[in-house]
Amino acid sequence: MLTQIYGCAGILTNHILTMLLMRYVFLIPTLPKRWMQALFTAIGGLVCTATAWFFGVTPSLVVLGLVVALYLCLTEEGVRRRLLGMLRVIPVLGIGYGLLMTPRQLPVLLFRLDDRSVQIYSLVIYGLVAVGFLVFAVRGRRWRSMFREDIASRHLQYWEKVLLYVIGSLMFLYGCTVGQGHLVLDETYRRAVLPSYIISALIGFAVTLTIILLILQGNKQSHIQGQVLKMQHNIIVMMADIVENRDKNTGGHIKRTATYVQIIALTLKAEHLYSNILTDQYIRDMYIAAPLHDIGKIHIPDAVLKKEGRFTEEEYEIMKSHAAAGRELLAHAETTLGSSSYLEIAQQMAGYHHEWWNGRGYPEGRKGQDIPLCARIMAVADVFDAIVSERCYKGAMQIDDAIALIQKESGTHFDPVIVDAFLEARDEITEVCLRFRDHPESDATPS
């Protein structure tokens, strides 16, 4: 009975520890639904425990490996990624060995405990680990909630992956060989290999624990950095909102254009266009940066900004200055607040969203690919929203007429590839336009 309890406690501890390591150290995503994640964890633990009870420890370890492999397969997409993902079984299990092997095996090797003493001692270790799990479950709620918020933007660095995979694989091999060290009967051989066992165990434990602490610290720093960037973004967007609300008719402009930019970018990505630029991070940064594209209007006098009717030539030159002014303002903000990818994109959007594909725009007269991609996308979104919206100096154009105008300007004002994506997504863009025309102050939600 003691043997069975020892086996079940050991494999259940290993299973829970492995699931935690995959989530918080290897940063492997969870299953789509939280109930699916909980159900998989419970069933996996039950299967492993039942195997240990009826068939012994070694078969249960094999089942644990299969459970981990199945989880890795379910969390990946595509046959190739799933096959490669399942190779992580070895380092994942190895890191678990690295944490449990040293406190469990060193006293066994040093004092040469018999099987019953080994089982009792191991049960004490598993009990202490179980207490640690309970403390984490109760006291770690806030940390886990914070982690769930940041997991989409947190990825292992290259050096973190290398260390995890190398140490995990080495500890896996070490665990497979040292686990039976206490069974060696030859006293001379035992004395010869015991120091190497002890040194290897201590080094493996220290290195494994260090890597885990470094990765957890990286998760914490990622959260802090994300909060700082979010605060910076909210402050600057508040400024943009103030600028836009100087003219009551344009209050929802920054929200709608951000949504249009995201729709166009996702359409381009789905068509595998500009794929070297349109990464997931770049699209997220564009969505965040889009509200800042007209920040330079803060320098435009009300007499010009709110004028009803056509500008004089002098007034038009004043109005045109908002593009360069916005770029300079955001460059200064980046100098003050620190470099970030979305602020770089915001500078490009603010400075160049009035450039034309044929080079007849402002402020620099750039043309074609010399205009940053984010600015070319913003140009389409900005013009479309401007002509379908009512302003103090004009009425609103019908959506179909506005789409036809955008299409007509393809190759002159706008990048033809981006116009094609705009036309491809016209139904989604029309739906957003109608929804936020009726409720202009509603927040746009990213798709």
Q: Which residues of the chain have pLDDT under 50?
A: 249, 438-447
Q: What is the pLDDT of residue 366?
A: 94
Closest CA relative to residue 326, chosen from 354, 306, 302, 303: 354
Q: What domains appear along the chain, each with residue ranges and CATH number?
A: 2-224 (no CATH), 245-438 (1.10.3210.10)
Whole-angstrom Cα distance, residue 57 to residue 179? 12
pLDDT digits (tens, 9 = 90+) for 364-398: 999 999 999 999 999 999 999 988 887 655 667 88
Give, in order, the Cα–Cα distances in Å from 192 to each of 105, 179, 198.
Answer: 17, 17, 11
Give the pLDDT of residue 56: 86
Burial of 289 (0-12, 13-18, 19+ CB in 10 A): buried
Residue 442: its pLDDT value, please? 42
pLDDT of the residue at 420: 95
Q: Can you tell me which residue has the tokens 């984490």?
A: 136
By the 8 A CB rule, do 373 and 386 touch?
no
The position carrying tokens 């381009």 is: 268
User: What pLDDT shows up at residue 337?
Assistant: 67
pTM for the predicted model, two decimal places: 0.59
pLDDT in tens, 203-244: 777 888 888 888 877 777 777 777 777 776 777 677 777 776
In single-letter form, the type of residue at position 348 comes to Q
pLDDT tens per residue across span 45-67? 999 999 999 988 889 989 999 99
